[in-house]
Structure 1
Amino acid sequence: MSAFPCNSLTEASASWLGSSLVSVRQLSPGGLRLLLSVSSEMKQLVRLHGGDARLQHRVLSNVFYEASTRTSCSFQAAMLRLGGRVVCVDAAHSSAKKGETLADTLRCLECYADVSVLRHPVTGAVGEAAGATVKPVLNAGDGTGEHPSQALLDVFTMEDELAARGGLRGKTVVLLGDLKHGRTVHSLAKLLARSGIEDVRLRFCSPTQLPMPQEVRDEVAEFGLPMEDFTDLKEAVAGADVLYVTRVQKERFESEALYDEVKDLYIVDKAIMDVSPETMVVMHPLPRVNEIATEVDADPRAAYFRQMENGMFVRMALLALVLGKSGV
């Protein structure tokens, strides 16, 4: 696992080559800028030509120990759009059932593939697996820890949606919902803190039972980003530029009773949108349950399906950079 420094585009590109991506802590402002730039190029490539063949004869192993639709499919689509191929591993039917360790599974797969994408329910498991491999491993979510490629696509989406207003610089981002268990918001807060984008402000809005973990707060504080806490959604969205909604993660709760206490405390519906800024962008990593009403889907501020598509462009860029085929 290496960092992605940034004194020049060439240097940043070289630092991505052959590297695993386990945490947003690896990213520097220059490494992030390069990833966002290549992602924009990938978006144009797909719009104009559908893709190209730069990753022809390269193979991705897609290894998921937890359920996934968007992350798994977008990584597969990203590889296919660039001419590569994909080997999918369903952990329920792998040698893990025979007691094979995660490290040995990844060592096995790197014999066949050039890069692996791994999701695992145990926090820190992806980092341990990456430490045992020679070829790159990309973290697709580890327990309640991190989801770095999601954070990358989230920042890309924010910059894209806010482009007419100067991007994220000087903007206020509200993180709403299950901030305790949500690895997407953990990675996003950390990435915004170290992004080098000036004057970003964070608001955390959650039930008192599900606050943003202290270790995330401490890391954000190190970089000087202002943070505020809210429990009232209407207060949180006043003057906000981005509302990033997360579901309450039932699978992380010790009992259904504890989940039932908080599951529907926040619902973004027409009433909430009516009191929100006219330019506020609404995002969600998906899947949603009840936290965004379907009536909001038609609102032009609803960006979560555009956000989902952006995931493919960002993962195309990530694969191209890691495999040395970004064109930089």
Structure 2
Amino acid sequence: MLTYNDSVARGGIAEPVNGSWQGKDIISVEQFTKSDLDQLFEVTARMKRIKEMNGSTDILRGKILANLFYEASTRTDASFSIAMKRLGGEVHNIVGVQFSSVSKGETLADTVRVLSGYTDVLVLRHPQQGAAATAAQAIHAQCRLTGSGPVPLINAGDGVGEHPTQALLDMYTIVQKFNRIDGLTVAMVGDLKHGRTVHSLARLLSFYSGVKLILIAPPSLQMPPDLLEELRRRGVETKLADSIEEVSHEADVWYITRVQKERFDSEDAYRSVQGSYSVNAETVSRMRSEAIIMHPLPRVGEISEDVDSLPQAVYFEQAVNGMYVRMAILAGVLGRW
């Protein structure tokens, strides 16, 4: 499977956005700049107003999205589908690929080559890191062969690699709450080794000045060393901590993640770190009053329900923001900004 750097080297795949979203694949957060994020968030706010005032628009009438999910999803699948429908487009979902020709041995490349001929944009989730770049390469090859226009591919999570649209909605949520990113302290808690959401978010945060990351995880689930070194080279101050309690009053943003059972080789290995951290109302009482608590969801016990009604809890609002951000992304890559 291709890495982000491999895909850039081959040209045309995952190229930098640089203010022009039309026809672009969205593979990695490395494609963006701060100005790209500012631009996206302006359009996102406009999409939110459209939904609140009218419910929908028809700017993507006649366009079709294919959701191709090789892994389970609730929010990402639903928010992309509903985002497309609110923009006037149509959706074809392939969720549970055991019911598709994948079960017969069809390759990812063959699947996306065919789907790109049917649709205008594809969203892919896959368990293997680099799968999105590999799929985009296959689509580009098919488009060159047939002489057809670009069919953008959006990475909805590739194994332990990246989840760029989740990171974008996370950043949008933080900006909505603080009106800035510069100078914030963000605590990331849980499975930082396998968590593609934290990998992408940490890279986006590195675009800003004065950002500090506090990384709280069991030693076996700490942030990958190469990513940690990359963040430090970019000037991000990082601090490793063993518990939430020892740094409870330091963070502006608490980004809680679940331990990803599906990434472990054995049940015993998972159980050895399951439940390492838990946030409840008592935990929150020791945090800054203006802090926010985020989670990419689903949660499996790491945030108790007594937190849900507290003003610091923004994870359900965060999930809803995903629809607005994905409306903006779909309109952008399809040239309807």
Calculate the TM-score normalised by the size of structure 1.
0.93
**Is 1:238 matched up with 2:249?**
yes
**Is 1:83 matched up with 2:88?**
yes
- Counterparts of 2:44 and 2:234 in 1: how far apart (Å)? 25
- Residue of structure 1 in register with 2:262 after alignment: 251
**Is 1:325 matched up with 2:336?**
yes
- The letter for the 2-side match of 1:42 is M
- Counterparts of 1:321 and 1:4 in 2: how far apart (Å)? 14
1:37-76 superposed matches below 5 A = 37-76=42-81
- Residue of structure 2 in register with 1:171 after alignment: 184
- Counterparts of 2:114 and 2:276 in 1: how far apart (Å)? 45
Q: After superposition, give the CA deviation of every residue in 1:108-132 in whole Å (9 maximum; x if it has no partner).
A: 1111100000000011111101111
SS in structure 2 opposite 1:314? helix
- Residue of structure 1 in register with 2:136 after alignment: 130
Q: Is the 8 A contact 2:124 2:154 kept in 1?
A: yes
Q: Is the 8 A contact 2:15 2:25 kept in 1?
A: no
- Counterparts of 2:106 and 2:265 in 1: how far apart (Å)? 28
- Residue of structure 1 in register with 2:15 after alignment: 3
- Residue of structure 2 in register with 1:110 after alignment: 116
- CA shift at 1:5, angstroms? 4.9
SS in structure 1 opposite 2:187? strand
Q: Determine what percentage of the aligned residue pairs are the same residue.
A: 46
Q: After superposition, give the CA deviation of every residue in 1:204-252 in whole Å (9 maximum; x if it has no partner).
A: 1111111100121122123211111111111233221000000001111
Q: Is the 8 A contact 2:245 2:283 kept in 1?
A: yes
Q: Is the 8 A contact 2:194 2:260 kept in 1?
A: yes
- Counterparts of 2:300 and 2:25 in 1: how far apart (Å)? 32
- CA shift at 1:4, angstroms? 3.5
Q: After superposition, give the CA deviation of every residue in 1:141-183 in whole Å (9 maximum; x if it has no partner).
A: 01111100000000000111223xxx22211000100001101
- The letter for the 1-side match of 2:231 is V
Give the gaps of 5 or more residues in structure 2.
1-12, 141-150
Give the gaps of 5 or more residues in structure 1.
7-11
Q: After superposition, give the CA deviation of every residue in 1:54-100 in whole Å (9 maximum; x if it has no partner).
A: 00000000000000000000000100000000011131111111211
- CA shift at 1:31, angstroms? 1.4
Closer, same or farther in 2 for the Cα pair 1:185/1:228, shift >3 Å?
same
- Counterparts of 1:79 and 1:236 in 2: how far apart (Å)? 41
- Residue of structure 2 in register with 1:9 after alignment: none
Calculate the TM-score normalised by the size of structure 2.
0.91
Q: Is the 8 A contact 2:84 2:90 kept in 1?
A: yes
- How many residues were matched structurally? 314
Task: Tell me how large the CA RMSD over aligned residues is.
Answer: 1.1
